[in-house]
């Protein structure tokens, strides 16, 4: 374990049966039946949206009503926040409430009602994936040692969501960039380290944003980006990944941590994100040891999680987010 890119799901994911990287768009009749017929969806997003609608119906949760009828992958707003049904356990729900209520998080990207009613969003997925680990850091240590990404972890010290060391603080990036999941650890060497994770699920490429001189300053200090890529990184669909990587670099440059790694976590079966990750690798110089970037597949992460924890919420996560073959096979 701990490879830095291109982890394979072909053998490990066979624990749950079939390999899932080959998906086809669900038939129009099925999409219409479950209120998930959106022309702009990629093949993966179309399947993921259908998965969420099926899960919602199995839980007897009413869908969101909008101008064109119903949106099967969203929950009725009156039910969503009151019942907290977007989350797999009551413990996870309480962690979400704490994160929303934290004054340090009030300016974060934890946006209502999306966190409550959007079943397809990667933000609730992040909480559902690691929320239960907050109360069992021993289990978290066991798990992340398997995903050490070249680091020697003695113990995980905390798990935080939508974390920034200083939102809008010019010491870092001076903007609102935050990590979906942030995991400080103590290394076996005694060093203070971190794993910073950007979580994606059904997303595809998005447009880039504006340039900041601070981005250029941090990028120059890190020294791991190819010169010909700098403008492309800022203004292309790679910008969010780049900004997260810069933020992780700033934590080391400013002396907050001695080591760390930035990880992009997404489903291998989402080919849009797979190609995005490959493109980002192309922007990096070979020598990135001080400011490493790693790719981890959600399928692989789940398999390692299942190997160290047999709690019901683990299989519930798989059924909701990853069991395309088992749940959609009879429909498509």
pLDDT higher than 50, residue 12:
no
Look at 107 and 58; give whichever has higher pLDDT. 58
pLDDT of residue 130: 98
> What gap in Å lies between CA 165 and CA 177, rounded to an integer?
10
pLDDT of residue 6: 34
Average pLDDT over residues 100-107: 60
- Ramachandran angles phi, psi of 217, nearest 5°: -65, -50
Model confidence band, residue 271 (pLDDT cutoffs 50, 70, 90): very high
> What gap in Å lies between CA 223 and CA 210, rounded to an integer?
21
Average pLDDT over residues 297-304: 96
Which residues have CB under 8 Å from 20's CB, separation 6+? 9, 13, 267, 268, 269, 299, 322, 324, 325
pLDDT higher than 90, residue 110:
no
Helices within the chain (DSSP H only) = 28-33, 43-58, 77-83, 90-101, 114-117, 122-130, 137-146, 213-222, 230-235, 239-253, 271-282, 298-308, 312-321, 324-328
Q: Are residues 322 and 20 in contact, defined by beta-carbon separation less than 8 angstroms? A: yes
pLDDT of residue 109: 62
pLDDT tens for residues 162-221?
999 998 899 999 999 999 999 999 999 999 999 999 999 999 887 777 789 999 999 999
Tell which residue, 213, 22, 45, has the closest CA to residue 118: 45
Average pLDDT over residues 136-149: 92
pTM, to two decimals: 0.91
pLDDT higher than 90, residue 150:
no
How many CB atoms sit inside 10 A of residue 278's CB?
A: 12
Structure letter (DSSP) for residue 223: -
- Report the phi/psi class of residue 255: left, alpha or beta, with left for phi > 0 and alpha for psi in -120 to 50: left
pLDDT higher than 80, residue 107:
no
Lowest mean pLDDT among 82-86, 201-205, 244-248, 261-265: 201-205
């Amino acid at each position: 374990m701990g490879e830095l890119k291109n982890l394979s799901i072909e053998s490990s994911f066979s624990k749950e049966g079939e390999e899932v990287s080959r998906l086809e768009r669900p038939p129009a009749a099925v999409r219409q039946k479950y209120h998930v017929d959106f022309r702009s969806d990629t093949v993966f997003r179309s399947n993921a949206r259908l998965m969420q609608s099926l899960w919602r119906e199995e839980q007897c949760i009413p869908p969101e009503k909008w101008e064109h009828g119903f949106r099967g992958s969203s929950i009725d707003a009156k039910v969503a926040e009151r019942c907290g049904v977007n989350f797999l356990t009551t413990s996870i729900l309480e962690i979400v409430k704490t994160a929303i209520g934290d004054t340090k998080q009030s300016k974060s990207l934890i946006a209502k009602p999306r966190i409550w009613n959007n079943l397809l969003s990667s933000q609730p997925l992040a909480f559902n994936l690691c929320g239960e680990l907050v109360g069992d850091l021993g289990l978290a240590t066991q798990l992340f040692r398997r995903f050490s990404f070249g680091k020697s972890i003695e113990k995980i010290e905390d798990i935080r969501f939508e974390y920034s060391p200083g939102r809008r603080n010019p010491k870092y990036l001076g903007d609102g960039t935050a990590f979906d999941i942030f995991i400080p650890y103590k290394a076996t060497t005694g060093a203070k380290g971190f794993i910073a994770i950007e979580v994606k699920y059904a997303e595809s490429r998005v447009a880039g944003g504006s340039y900041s001189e601070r981005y250029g300053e941090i990028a120059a200090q890190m020294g791991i980006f190819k010169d010909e890529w700098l403008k492309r990184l800022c203004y292309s669909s790679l910008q969010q990944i780049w900004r997260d990587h810069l933020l992780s670099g700033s934590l080391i440059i400013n002396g907050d941590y001695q080591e760390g790694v930035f990880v992009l976590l997404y489903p291998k079966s989402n080919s849009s994100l797979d190609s995005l990750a490959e493109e980002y690798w192309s922007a990096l110089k070979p020598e990135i040891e001080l400011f490493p970037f790693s790719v981890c597949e959600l399928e692989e992460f789940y398999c390692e999680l299942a190997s160290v924890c047999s709690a019901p919420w683990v299989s519930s996560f798989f059924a909701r987010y990853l069991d395309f073959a088992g749940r959609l096979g009879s429909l498509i």
